[in-house]
Structure 1
Amino acid sequence: MTIDVSRETEERLDDYAALIRKWNPRINLVAPATLPDLRQRHIDDCLQIAHHAKPVSGLWADLGSGGGLPGLVVAIAFQGRAIRFTLVESDQRKAAFLRTAIRQLDLADTTVLSSRIEALEPLKADHISARALAPLPRLMAYLDRHLAIDGRAWLMKGEQWRSEVAEARKHWNFTADVFPSATKSGAAIINISGVSHV
């Protein structure tokens, strides 16, 4: 599956992919075995968020950014909109990669917070994204802390997403809109809003 993007966005995504390939031998940003299929396995996978989300403005926080998936991909896709991006990554080496990528890709509205998610002051983010960070029951506490009251989260989940949603509902109230993944069978992107304790 390929999502149509502008030529400028395509060029930035190519430059981002080149940065991952350059840094990956020193810092494990993605599993080395997935590098030959970097575009579909990682970049196109994350572009699905940009396809479904229609943000106009506000703060977008990417939690546990790692190598920038999905945070940098979404920031590239939404470049030029009135959206500020904050990438949260506690690993100092990965944070250094993210800062280098932001500078080289000229993403002026994107910054990095090198901190643990639970140690941050509430971000009050209008939008939150996360990929391969934690099971949904644990993610809910992060969303409760960092989402604005009317904010929405875009969570990329694997094949166990149904059981994770069921487990999370034991302790949390939330609305979940599910979009089946177009790049990985059985996986899904879950759009969550209205988070509160049961």
Structure 2
Amino acid sequence: MYGADDLARDLDVSRETLDKLKVYAGLLAKWQKAKNLVANSTLDDMWRRHFLDSAQLAPLLKERFGDREVTLLDIGSGAGFPGLVLSAMGVATAHMVESNGRKCTFMNQVSRETGANATIHAQRIEEMDIFPVDIVTSRACARISQLLDWAAPFLNEDTEMWLLKGEIADEELTEAKACWKMNVDRFKSLSDPTGVILRLSSIKRL
């Protein structure tokens, strides 16, 4: 079974950072019993399904942005994946957008106990005030075209979207390109053989 030490090895995560992620994992296991934050079927494999899946963005973002801590908008954050993981790792100042109150309460506790630089927005993204962001992330939330529509007010010429997607990513991209022009870079997922990480840049509505 994939575990914390495997993640540290695969992504060269420091002991201090791994300790923060272990706190996060402990809280997830504790809260899951009562709050059903993630699918129960994924809990036994949480280090691969949730933490590796999210944390694998960290080296890619560091390669793209260097040591600069980027401002991240995470749409449909759920239990905090991927944005809160990236914030706990020191990669990003994260704005987590989630309309489910119990999930926001959970993320606030994780943020406090891990020292993550994160703001939890307990509302729908359509209701939010607009502010500049470097990247938009999302995981298991909506199709790409819907994510682009939600993110549109926050996008400027330099904003990128980093999306964790599954085996129908090409279908979603084809659909999105009917209304949007963008550059697409693909990266192989470390956590899911059928998954892909998409980097969308130079995003403009047609």
TM-score strictly above 0.5: yes
Q: How does 1:21-36 map to 2 (within 5 A)?
A: 21-36=29-44
Q: How does 1:172-191 map to 2 (within 5 A)?
A: 172-191=180-199
**Which residue number in structure 2 is paired with residue 141 of structure 1?**
149
Going from structure 1 to structure 2, the CA distance change for 1:91 and 1:145 (only over 3 Å counts) comes to: same
Instruction: Give the deviation of 1:27 after TM superposition.
Output: 1.6
**Which residue number in structure 2 is paired with residue 165 of structure 1?**
173
Provide the rounded CA distance (Å) in 1 between the counterparts of 2:175 and 2:99. Answer: 27
Which consecutive residues of structure 2, in runs of 5 or more, have no partner in the other structure? 1-6
**Residues 26-81 of structure 1 deviation map (CA, whole Å, 9 limit, x = unaligned):** 222111111111101110111111121123134211111110110111112225xx
**Which residue number in structure 1 is paired with residue 14 of structure 2?**
6
Provide the rounded CA distance (Å) in 2 between the counterparts of 1:197 and 1:45. Answer: 29
**Which residue number in structure 2 is paired with residue 64 of structure 1?**
76
Match 1:100 to one of 98, 105, 109: 109
Could you tell which deviates more after superposition, 1-10 or 69-78? 1-10
| TM-score, L = length of structure 2 | 0.89
Q: Supply the RMSD in Å over aligned alpha carbons.
A: 1.4
**Residues 90-114 of structure 1 deviation map (CA, whole Å, 9 limit, x = unaligned):** 111111111111111122x211111
Which consecutive residues of structure 1, in runs of 5 or more, have no partner in the other structure? none
Q: How does 1:81-92 map to 2 (within 5 A)?
A: 83-92=92-101
Higher-strand-fraction structure: 1
Provide the rounded CA distance (Å) in 1 between the counterparts of 2:185 and 2:193. Answer: 18
Deviation beyond 4 Å, 4+ runs, structure 1: none
Contact 1:152 1:191 (C-alpha < 8 Å) held by counterparts: yes
Provide the rounded CA distance (Å) in 2 between the counterparts of 1:123 and 1:130. Answer: 18
Provide the rounded CA distance (Å) in 2 between the counterparts of 1:161 and 1:169. Answer: 12
